[in-house]
Structure 1
């Protein structure tokens, strides 16, 4: 799930989906607001129509009685508590009202004043339900006298219509939103195909199965691919040139060393000849070693190699048992199983060889080599039951030429060489105390 959260495709789809949902939700709210106003206006127009009927039908007689020629014709005014009400007032006194009020009055005292000339308000009906009320003052037929006409429609009708439309809009917009998100997903998937192809191509280069990006790409991406291929080709040219120069350097160094070595062999019986022969041999070995390491750095498919650990460890254990035969060391390789790493067999031999040889030098009786793995990585452990190394000196051991005990043979290059090799494969080396009492060296390498 973490990888999905980090992927470009997931982020774009997530952001697009969130924007689509917010846009649809906002649009739905605006549409509902417009529809609510439209429905309310429709109800208000209906109420005004019936009020016009009362305007033409209502007047006061000379005795102050209401003369209503005919009541509003809508049958809903005769259904009790329907929300469709009307009443006629004179000087605050109700002269007549619709049968739907069932003898009750609409309380309009909170918004009607002496100079009121009409308006629309939402108040509670006698039964507690909300209603939209319109009022209008008209001449009463007697000079100086006015009648107040009151007519209403139920808010429940407006609310029910809005809720019904909201339900339909919710379903429709939900389906539309899902459809848009799915469409965005496939659009992004198609749009990012060239990026995925580049990723696969780079993985092939990383594995050593290709040396450049192949295929045709869209115009906007093709320029990037061309630049990457140019960069790869440029690096390849530089590497070939460097390797050729290394070969020339090796040739120029080896020839004088060979001459000196031959002269030293002629004087081998003398102390000076023996010393010169030993030093020139060490120089030649060091030159060969570092030239081979430099050539390894120039190998383009170095991460495409695969090596099984157990056969290499078995060969090394067999050789080391003969070298340290008098000490009768035990090698435990049972924890290796089918462990494999992505590196050259020769480099694995050199890394394990240095570590196992170092473990043999310090072990009392036992050397253990085992492997664990997780998420494409392999962790190789080489442990011994020797005296170990103090924690404050662990970092010093990895420094080139550093040796904690000069009585042991070597040049102090073993662990530093292993560190260089493991870093070549984008791994790491860690030193710690072993559960067997000595030193534990952990190699972190890509799994094969």
Structure 2
């Protein structure tokens, strides 16, 4: 039964939230870790490349000699064939104080820009063909030389960059594989960790559908208190319902006897007609309100109750057919065997009993009781070929909150109880005209 508030949509799945949070954090850490490793490897590779050039520069210094005229020359090869290959990207160059240049064969007729340096210095420049070069250079004084000799050696950074790119590809491929593995592990961990909650949800669905009465055991320590508290609520709810039923039954039994005694005593009393009329009104009101109180006390909203509708309708039809045997009413029970009401059998008996009794009362010769399932709802219909409703009665019945027992004279108090029981069980009740010519009463109840 709705209280008029807009129903809230379910929030995002807890599993999705946990997995998404873990993945975001993992990707941030992997991205940061990958950037740090890539930067560290590049710095280490550049430093190692510089050390190689330093070693070559010291080897070049070792094979450099000064002639008597003050000129310098390299008396031996540096041992790396790339210095002999034209524009290989590996070059050396010596600038004498006089300005004369001695160059490696790889430079051919090109020169590298000279940067005056005291101590050893590293810098990056563009080579003869625009290739990136790392240069290590320094000024040295040789015995017999007229001044400082500028010595320079350069290596091709493309080799270094290719190595760094290969490392980065391998690094990011490994990180992607690691991320995929961690994603699977996170999903498995979350699903395994939330399994008790899914089991709790399944148990609650089973209770709502009437397949069980209580939550099972075996929950982990974090969930067990919740399951125990819910079981305690279910047990307390059942006790309250049973106690209310008992009180209502006792009250009904206690009132019927004094009313019967009063009715017997008024048999020969003057003015008994008025007194009997008032007594009948009292009886009628007591039955009405006790019926509604019993309906409320026997609420079908207690979890765990369910019953099939066809046997209930057939039992009621058998009894009513015997009571009204002289009228030769043809009753058609068109209820599927899988039509299930999620609520107490007694409530369904009370609702169908009232509707079918009214149909038998007003039918001329045919009654049809049908049912169908629609979106977890059970829709029951009771139709007859009687006189039906007048437009005025139909308009009153359509009004929200209208009392059917007052709007439709002759239909009795049972319809008010049907309305209350349907609402209590989370359903609704409506009346319109049947294609048989009479009334069609429709009950929409939890089922499916």
TM tier relative to shorter chain: 0.7 to 0.9
User: What is the CA deviation profile of residues 229-287 of structure 1, one whole-angstrom value per residue up to 9, with x for unaligned ones?
Assistant: 34444444444443433333333333333333444566799632552353144134314
- Higher RCO (CA < 8 A, seq sep 6+): 2
Give the Cα separation in 2 of the matches to 1:388 and 1:366: 22
Q: Does 1:168 align with 2:170?
A: yes
Q: Secondary structure at the match of 2:208?
A: helix
Which of 37, 40, 51 is the aligned partner of 1:45?
A: 51
> How far apart, CA to CA, are the structure 2 residues paired with 1:253 and 1:445?
33
Q: Does 1:85 align with 2:85?
A: no
The question of 1:347 aligning with 2:353 is answered: no
Paired residues in the alignment total: 433
Q: Distance in 2 between matches of 1:142 and 1:392?
A: 125
Measure, in 1, the Cα distance between the counterparts of 2:96 and 2:436: 108
Q: Report the Cα distance in structure 1 between the residues aligned to 2:279 and 2:141, rounded to whole angstroms.
A: 134
Describe the superposition over 1:321-352 as per-residue Cα deviations: whole angstroms up to 9, x where unpaired: x99xx9xx999997979644323455345546
- Measure, in 2, the Cα distance between the counterparts of 1:255 and 1:92: 139
User: Structure 1 residues 8, 343: closer, same or farther in 2, change over 3 A?
Assistant: same
What are the ranges of 5 or more consecutive residues in structure 2 without an aligned counterpart? 1-8
Separation in structure 1 between the aligned mates of residue 178 and residue 54 of structure 2, nearest angstrom: 39
What is aligned with 1:421? 421
Q: Give the alignment of 1:253-332 within 5 angstroms.
A: 253-263=255-265, 271-297=273-299, 300=302, 303-308=304-309, 312=313
Secondary structure at the residue paired with 2:251? helix
Other-structure match for 1:127: 129
Residues 123-170 of structure 1, C-alpha deviation per residue, up to 9 Å, x if partnerless?
433323333233333336678843433322222222222232233333
| Two-structure CA RMSD over aligned residues (Å) | 5.0
* Partner Cα distance (2:230, 2:150) in 1: 86
User: What TM-score results when the alignment is normalised by the length of structure 2?
Assistant: 0.73
Counterparts of 1:17-416 in structure 2, within 5 Å, are: 17-58=23-64, 65-89=71-95, 95-106=101-112, 108=113, 112=115, 117-139=119-141, 145-263=147-265, 271-297=273-299, 300=302, 303-308=304-309, 312=313, 339-348=339-348, 350-351=350-351, 371=372, 373-374=374-375, 376-379=376-379, 396-400=399-403, 408-410=409-411, 414=415
Tell me the TM-score normalised to structure 1 length.
0.73
2: distance between equivalents of 1:91 and 1:440?
118
Spell out, residue by residue over 1:363-384, the C-alpha distance to the aligned partner (whole angstroms, 9 max, x if none).
xx9999664523x344557899
How far the C-alpha of 1:305 sits from its partner, in A, is 0.9
- The equivalent residue for 1:12 is 18
Unpaired runs of 5+ residues, structure 1, are none
Whole-angstrom CA distance in 2 between matches of 1:169 and 1:435: 76
